[in-house]
Structure formats: C-alpha cells, structure tokens
Structure 1
Amino acid sequence: MKRYMNILKRISLVVAPAMLLLTGCEDIIDLNVDSGPSQLVVDGWITNQPGVQQISLSLSAPYFNNGPATPVTNASVLVEDNEGNVYEFLDVDQDGIYEWGTAQDTLGRIGRTYLLTITTDGEVYTADTEIRRVPQVDSVVYQKETLPIDPDNGPKEGYIAQFYARDFVGEGDNYWIKPVVDGQARVDRPSNISIAYDAAFNAGAPSDGLIFILPLRQSITTDSLYSAGNSVGVELHSITNEAFEFLKQVQQQASNGGLFATPVQNIFSNVVNSNPNGPKALGFFGASAVSRKETVIDPSKARPEE
C-alpha cells in the first residue's frame, strides 16, 4: 500500500504542473473559413404507403452558419417510374417542400424503379432509386428492465422493446429500422439510425434468411426505457445498397468526434447534375416499402427481467 501511494504521489507531481500549463492561459482563436458556393440539397424519400409524398429542396450553408436552411422555390420536380407514370411534385406553400398526392394516394410500388428530375436555376439534376421487397414484422415484444443507476432521461425501471422479423432468403437485402412511438416513426438523431444488411449489421455476416440479430431487434429502444401504457412499435423500410451506404456515412459523421476524429467530409449523394461542369448537389433520393407493427406495453404481458 505504501509503495502504491508513492507511485500516486509521483504521478501527481508530473500531472499537476502539466495541467497548469494546459489551463494557465486561454487564447480565443477566430477561424476564418472560406465559404464555398451554395449547393442544392435534396431530401426526398418516397414509400409504398398511402399519404402525401414529400421532396425538400434547400441550399447548403457555411459550416458555422446555424441559421435555418434557405429553401429552393420555383423548381420543377418530377418523379417517373419505369412504367411511364409521371408524378409532379408542387411547392404550394413556397417553402421548398414539394408534395404529391393526398392521404388516400399511393405512389410507390414494390419492384418499380423511380427517376427524380429537378430543374432549377438552369440546371437539371437527376437521381434514381427502386423499391425493394420488405418482410413482414412478426411481433413486437417487451421485457422488464431495471437500470443500475438513474439515467439522464426516462425511468430507471421500465421496458426494453424489440421486434421479430426474418430476412428474405437471398443475400443483399438492406433495411432501415425505425422505432414507432405513439403512432409516429421517430429517428430524432443521426446517431439513432439503425440499418441492416440482411439480418445483421454489414455484408459478410452469415445472416441471410435469418431472424434479425438481437442488437437490431432492440434498436427500437433508443434513449430511454419505455413505461407501462406506452404505444411502441417498428417500421421496417426496405432500402437499396446506395441508401444503406448513404445512411452508414450519416451514422459515421454523427459519431465522428473525440481524440480520433477525422476531417469532416461531404456525404455521398446520388443526385447528379446532367451538366458535368455545373454545380454539384448534396442529399439523397430514396424509396422504401414499409412493414409496420405496434403494441401497447402491458406489464402483465411483459417478459420477466433477467
């Protein structure tokens, strides 16, 4: 014990002066970062579910600009499927949000491909995608859980929810898993994005045709435990390989921090300017088939705590 205390004293003698050097003075450095030209940002995702479909257009902003994005208005936004059906999206409110359809209309169909064409400021941008198959969600279950310490958010005692579904046989299916809370699919932070390649995290895992692995099934429980009476569920979205890689990069950028952070880079986009010498676009145009199931947490039906 005496030897241990002597080691601690020697460590303190080295660390304390070093900390004084680090904290003895503070200089405020103003970074002058050149602002590049604004670029078109596309945020569009269509599904096979009935309801209004939206594609948002805005302009990129300098890195340190925390203000709202500038909407792109007066653009022509068309979506055409491989059977020749053309859907015109309109910006009725002049806010950069272009919409098609009503609550009863359905645009997406499994197996069809879709071409997005945007014309704005004399430039023509295109992106293509397809709606792939999605398995049915078998069930949503929940288990009693008591956390070892009081959490920052939510109850200390509550329930972990998970879903059960089986990947299709045939390698290469990709999915976006979204928790459903009180009837609404919610992905409130990029770090909460949950994506799957077949029934696991990435290609290479022997998961084709299997039930989704436990961490993916439980990914519908995000920042806190659920409470009795909560309505919880899952939306399983089929996505393309391109969409999988896009969402994966969004995940990685969201967690890119700390000692080993890498320089911030633009995330891959599938939106291409038909003029190779024209301004490039940012964002993504995707499409999904959706499988959904919900339940209400009833303590009498919960799985026992392990």
Structure 2
Amino acid sequence: MRGFIKQIVLSTIIIAGTLLVSCEKEVNIKLNTGEPSLVVEGVIENGLPPYVFLTRSIGYFSTIDLNTLQNSFVRNAKVTVSDGVRTVQLREYSLDTGANGNKLYFYSIDTAGSFFVGQIEKVYKLTIEVDGKIYESFTKIPNPTTIDSMKTVQPDPPFNKEKNPLARQVRIYFKEPDTAGNFVRYFTQRNSEPYYPGSNSVYPDDIINGIYFETTLSLGEPTGREFNRDSSTVGYPGDTVTLKWCSIDRANYTFWSTYEYSLGTLGNPFSTPIQVKSNISNGALGVWTGYGAVYKTIVLE
C-alpha cells in the first residue's frame, strides 16, 4: 500500500488545474460567486486499488494558496465502488505534504478489511454521498493496446537540435486494434520521478484502425512547471524512461481532451471557449477514470 500511496499523491496535480479550469463557463461569465461544485478525481487501474480525491471548486477570483487547497478537500463522504458483484466502501486517508502542516485527503480501500483491484474489461460504478446529495459515475477498464517496441530519437521540429543536441524523446511502435472506439492516454516516468502525463496525453483512433503505427512521444512534465522549448519534455542519454500506456473509454477521452485544451488556453483571451465534459452525475465536475495500462521501459541512448 505504501508504494501505491506514493504513486497517487502526484495525481493531485490535476486538482489545482481542475479547480481553475472548472470555473470557466462556455460563453457567459458571471462575476458573482455561486455555490462551489463538487470536484471528483477518481481512478481505477488494472491490478491496482481505486482511489478518489474529492474537493470543492474555487471561485475564479479567489486567492489560491496551500491553505485554500487544504480547505477545498471534501471529508467524511461515503464513497463506494462496485463491479456489479462486489461493492466496497472506501476509507478516508490523509497524507502530510510537509508544507506547514497541510495535508492531502483521499479515499481508497481499507487495507485491513478488503482486497479490491481493477480488472480488464470490467465496468466500475462510483457512488459518492455527501451533504445530502448522491453523485454517480461509470467507467470501464478497456483491454490495453500492446506496445511492440520503443526506441530513442531526437525531438522533431520545431525543437532546436543545435541548442540542445543531447535531447532525446521516445518513438513507439504498435498495432492499433481494428475496431473503432479505442482511446489512449499516456504517462512517462524519467528515472525516479513520478509518472506525468504528456502535454497532449490523449489520442483517438479515428484514422489508424487496424494498422501498424508509430509516433514520437514528448515526455511528461509536472503541471505548473515553466515551459522551455529547448529543454522541456525531453530526456538525455542514460535516463531510464518508463511509458505508462493506458486504454480509456470514450467518456474519459472526452474529459481529458477538453481538460487539456482548457488548461492549455487558460488566460488566452483569443482562445475558443470550451466546457470540460465531466462524466459525474448531479452537476459534479471532474472524472472517474478506468485505465487499462501496460508499462514499457527504455534506457535513452
């Protein structure tokens, strides 16, 4: 459980972004503050227990700091996950952030009383009961797409190879399933870093059904890190890079693609307004994601 908890702590980087993005409206902007919405970030992956973060959205003009984020966590909720046969109630955990006593709160299985991990091709129902309201969502863990091979490459243009000749990225080769409706989200880990999603981490299969395909992947960076076109999203010879390649369902593809678009255009007055598409009922924001994940590792050359 310790290693699992260490992995999921870094998942909270989405929370700050979601709290900001969720304040965007598609066209109309209301300056008066309404009731905060429930923000859900839940994940279940094949071979791993589910975990769920619950927070409240933060007003567009609110000052956001560690104390604000600390106070946004939703506690004492009843959270259950069901595979249609078994239903388990998740336990609330807290983790010290090491920053002035601030803590992170999340829900996962009670290790003393249950063993419940994701399985491929199963559908999982998430139910949240809090403040007299019930929120529900369904997600499926799709069958993963196998990565045939990986190799080290120099970044594609417009990356300036002359300024950073040792920069490396990863090219992958795989066969896309010949059925429509396959979607992927990927993460990378450099050496002992956590897994970070790529800057454009989701892909549909609209034009590559049933064919062998290759693509170059930029390496993931933590949300909020300043982007440098000459050094971001790359590794260097000798780095160990692990790719986490996840099949997701359509609802999750829709959420993550609209979320990443909104995050990438936040603050741009010329961008097209877009609403992030949640898969949670009853007006909640956020997402309940099933990952059919495979892992593959390469040492960059």
Q: Which category describes the TM-score, using the shorter chain as reference length?
A: 0.7 to 0.9
Q: 1:176 aligns with which of 179, 182, 185?
A: 185
Q: Structure 1's 227 and 80: CA in aligned 2 closer, same or farther, altered over 3 A?
A: same
Q: Which amino acid aligns with 2:211?
A: L
User: Deviation of residue 144 (structure 1)?
Assistant: 4.7
User: Deviation of residue 255 (structure 1)?
Assistant: 2.6
1:100-148, Cα deviation, whole Å (9 max, x unpaired): 265x955111111111110001111111111111122222210256934
Determine the C-alpha separation between the residues in 1 that align with 2:115 and 2:30: 49
SS in 2 for 1:46: strand
Determine the C-alpha separation between the residues in 1 that align with 2:58 and 2:138: 25
User: Deviation of residue 291 (structure 1)?
Assistant: 0.8
- Runs (5+) with no aligned partner, structure 1: 1-30, 274-279, 300-306
1:61 and 2:58 matched: yes
1:183–1:232 Cα contact (<8 Å) kept: no
Determine the C-alpha separation between the residues in 1 that align with 2:220 and 2:291: 22
1:232 and 2:241 matched: yes
1:92 and 2:102 matched: no
Q: Report which of the two structures shows the higher radius of gyration computed on alpha carbons.
A: 1
What root-mean-square deviation, in Å, do the aligned CA atoms of Structure 1 and Structure 2 show?
2.7
1:286 and 2:289 matched: yes
Q: Which amino acid aligns with 1:218?
A: L
Q: Structure 1's 195 and 268: CA in aligned 2 closer, same or farther, altered over 3 A?
A: same
Q: Structure 1's 184 and 86: CA in aligned 2 closer, same or farther, altered over 3 A?
A: farther
Determine the C-alpha separation between the residues in 2 that align with 1:167 and 1:32: 44
Q: Which amino acid aligns with 1:60?
A: S
User: Deviation of residue 173 (structure 1)?
Assistant: 0.8
User: Deviation of residue 269 (structure 1)?
Assistant: 1.1
Q: 1:245 aligns with which of 236, 239, 254?
A: 254
1:77–1:118 Cα contact (<8 Å) kept: yes
1:143 and 2:153 matched: yes
Equivalence map 1:19-98=2 (5 Å): 33-50=31-48, 52-65=49-62, 66-67=64-65, 68-69=68-69, 70-82=72-84, 84-93=85-94, 95-98=104-107
User: Deviation of residue 241 (structure 1)?
Assistant: 0.4
Determine the C-alpha separation between the residues in 1 that align with 2:79 and 2:281: 14
- Runs (5+) with no aligned partner, structure 2: 1-28, 95-102, 222-231
Q: Structure 1's 184 and 54: CA in aligned 2 closer, same or farther, altered over 3 A?
A: farther
Q: Which amino acid aligns with 2:58?
A: A
Q: Which amino acid aligns with 2:284?
A: A
Determine the C-alpha separation between the residues in 1 that align with 2:213 and 2:192: 23
SS in 2 for 1:254: helix
Determine the C-alpha separation between the residues in 2 that align with 1:183 and 1:170: 36
Q: Structure 1's 221 and 126: CA in aligned 2 closer, same or farther, altered over 3 A?
A: closer
Q: Structure 1's 269 and 98: CA in aligned 2 closer, same or farther, altered over 3 A?
A: same
Q: Structure 1's 287 and 183: CA in aligned 2 closer, same or farther, altered over 3 A?
A: farther
Determine the C-alpha separation between the residues in 1 that align with 2:115 and 2:190: 24
TM-score, structure 1 normalization: 0.71
1:203-234, Cα deviation, whole Å (9 max, x unpaired): 3x2x10223342xx423477243212101131
Q: Which amino acid aligns with 2:119?
A: R
Determine the C-alpha separation between the residues in 1 that align with 2:214 and 2:119: 28
Determine the C-alpha separation between the residues in 1 that align with 2:276 and 2:138: 17
TM-score, structure 2 normalization: 0.73
Q: Which amino acid aligns with 1:182?
A: N
SS in 1 for 2:31: coil
Aligned-residue sequence identity (percent) comes to: 23
* Matched length: 244
Determine the C-alpha separation between the residues in 2 that align with 1:130 and 1:106: 15
